[in-house]
Copies of this chain bind each other. A is one copy, B any other.
Amino acid sequence: MARPATKIDAKAKLLEAALSVIRAKGYSATSVDELCAAAGVTKGAFFHHFKGKNELGVAAADYWSEITGSLFASAPYHNHADPFDRILAYIDFRKALLKGGIPDFTCLVGTMVQETFETAPTIRAACERSITGHAATLEADIEAAMRERNMTPDWTAKSLALHTQAVIQGAFILAKATGGAEIAADSIDHLSRYIKLLFGVATEPAKPRAEGKSR
């Protein structure tokens, strides 16, 4: 057993603190001292578990992958029998997560990679793993939906899966810029509409072209 059990482990508390503090203030603006204060541990504990701030950054990104990985793995959208329905339910799920304060629903690795892509290669790589790894879980459903319909489009399942992540990350930026989630939700609606159109599902009350004007 070995675990002291009395305490929830300084490392875990530091990682948990990192998620909230970095999402609110960004990676560079978050100091080690502040992280320790938020976690309720001392600096000695910090440097006992991490060689330096960058290593904490990598660990935070990996921890984020774990947390979100299990959140999405156990999410109800997998219950749909049809893979296409799972894709749409996934997007609905992402939209439903846009609740609470902005730091609460935005993405840790999306925030971190913006600041570190040039200066901290190990953090950049950890963020890449997190994003592409999550996209890969979607790719399978997209591929299945394509196969089911015998589609041979000029795009790949992988690029569409990554596109969903781009839209979501971009929606977060708009939310941060405007100070609210409304525009982000609209953008995710557009993503949903796109995927329905791609797979040939009618969405609109659509009365396209009524009078002349062909194009």
- Report A's interface with B, CB cutoff 8 A: 24-29, 82, 84, 102-103, 109-111, 113-119, 124, 127-128, 131-132, 148-155, 159-160, 162-163, 165-171, 173-174, 176-179, 183-184, 186-187, 189-190, 193-194, 197-201, 203-211, 213, 215
Contact = CB atoms under 8 A, between A and B. Distances in A.
A8 to B, nearest CB: 27
Nearest to A150: B210
A194 B165 CA distance: 16
B176 A124 contact: yes
A151 B209 CA distance: 7
Copies of this polypeptide in the complex: 2
Q: Decide if the interface of chain A is mainly helix, strand, loop or mixed.
A: helix
A103 B27 CA distance: 18
A174 B204 CA distance: 30
A159 to B, nearest CB: 4
A187 B163 contact: yes
Given A155-B193, A163-B187, A190-B163, A114 B26 contact: yes
A152 B24 contact: no
Contacts of A163: 167, 186-187, 190
A103 to B, nearest CB: 7
A110 B115 CA distance: 11
A160 B194 CA distance: 12
A210 to B, nearest CB: 4
A194 B193 CA distance: 9
Contact of A170 (B111, B169, B200): B169
Nearest to A145: B215
Contacts of A84: 215
Given A114-B111, A183-B159, A119 B170 contact: no
A190 B153 CA distance: 12
